[in-house]
Amino acid sequence: MLQVKNLNVSYGAIHALHGISLEVKQGDIVTLIGANGAGKTTTLRAISGLVKAQSGEVLYEGKSITNMRAHQIVKLGMSHVPEGRMVFANLTVLENLQMGAYLRTDKKAIQNEMEYVFSVFPRLQERQKQVAGTLSGGEQQMLAIGRALMSKPKFLMLDEPSLGIAPLLVKTIFEKIVEINKQQGISILLVEQNANLALEISTYGYVLETGRIILQDQSSALRQNPQVKSAYLGGM
């Protein structure tokens, strides 16, 4: 579904990504774990066209999307839920969801999508007239995911969905991510600091350190890896 080959990204003099390669197979959840500043967010932003790749290639369904414009990538069926949620704070929940369907024209299909989002996140239905900026962190995360689903993606990228959310809601969000993957068959690339949770729900994982992939394996094997345990799983 997605292949990243030897991707390099720089911010001015700072070389953020050093030739990283990864892939996500159809229907899989793949996770990218690493400390703050490892380059996880930059990786997602380069894939979704928000940051320019210096060199390397991004292939989506076998087609090169390297440095394609972000809205064109969304049109191909890829959605990105950014770090920090980035909901439109002054719009209502309903308006935020409608913005997610901005590139679509089929009203009936959009309505079906809206009903699906409300079935996954009933709280959004209850709060559809509420201004998004007044929601809790967890509710805003639900809204950010719901908004991404409104474009009917085949591929979803999630950047730190557990960040700044009450522990009880984190569990709910992760259960919903699995549900979306299973019900809709959406392939998912998950960036997450809560490595334990990320490795629990994913099939395959990559460990990123200072812009380089230093480890990759089945998620179950990474959870048992002493290096991963001591660095990311609190020595469990």
Convert the pLDDT of each residue in 129-149 to its tens digit.
Answer: 999 989 988 899 999 999 999
- pLDDT higher than threshold 80 for residue 235: no
Give the pTM.
0.91
Percent of all residues in the chain with a pLDDT value above 70, rounded to a whole number: 99
Percent of all residues in the chain with a pLDDT value above 90, rounded to a whole number: 70
Mean pLDDT confidence for 7-26: 94
Task: Locate the domains of the chain by residue range.
Answer: 2-232
* pLDDT of res. 217: 96
Mean pLDDT confidence for 25-38: 93
- pLDDT higher than threshold 90 for residue 164: no
Mean pLDDT confidence for 35-48: 92
- pLDDT higher than threshold 60 for residue 58: yes
* pLDDT of res. 236: 47
Q: For residue 153, give Cα distances in angstroms to 4, 127, 172, 188.
A: 19, 24, 21, 10
* pLDDT of res. 107: 87
- pLDDT higher than threshold 60 for residue 126: yes
Structure tokens at 137: 């962190």
If pLDDT is split at 50, 70 and 90, which confidence band does 46 have?
very high
* pLDDT of res. 234: 66
Q: Indicate if the alpha-carbon torsion angle 187, 46, 170, 129 is positive or negative.
A: negative
Fold of the CATH domain 2-232: Rossmann fold (3.40.50)
* pLDDT of res. 21: 96
Which residue spans within the chain are E strands per DSSP?
A: 2-11, 14-24, 29-33, 55-60, 63-64, 78-81, 155-159, 187-191, 204-209, 212-218
